[in-house]
Amino acid sequence: MTKTKIVVAIVWALSLIVVAAVVASAQARAYTPLPEPRFFTGADVGFRVEGMHGDTPTGTVVIRINDKWVEAKVGAPSFVR
């Protein structure tokens, strides 16, 4: 093998190791539930944070109906008329 081919093979192998490390760290950011949900609300619309996925809060959009907070469904209804 020529010196150039050896260098290319080493660089390629190192790139595979780097990609494997990035993928492994992304998978390590597992979902962490909060002991008790936190609410961030306005007058009638809010967000209930139920856990963290890495540094990203995850939860549910809620709305106030008759002074009770209920989960909102976002998007089109699941049935067709």
pLDDT tens profile 7-51: 888 888 888 888 887 777 666 567 888 888 888 888 889 999 999
Separation between Cα atoms, residue 42 and residue 32, nearest integer Å = 25
Q: What is the pLDDT of residue 63?
A: 92
Give the global pTM: 0.53
How confident is residue 80, by pLDDT bands cut at 50, 70 and 90?
Answer: low
Residue-range domain boundaries for the chain: 3-71
pLDDT tens profile 38-49: 888 888 899 999
Contacts of 37 (CB under 8 A, 6+ apart): 48, 49, 50, 59
8 A C-beta contact, residue 60 and residue 47: yes
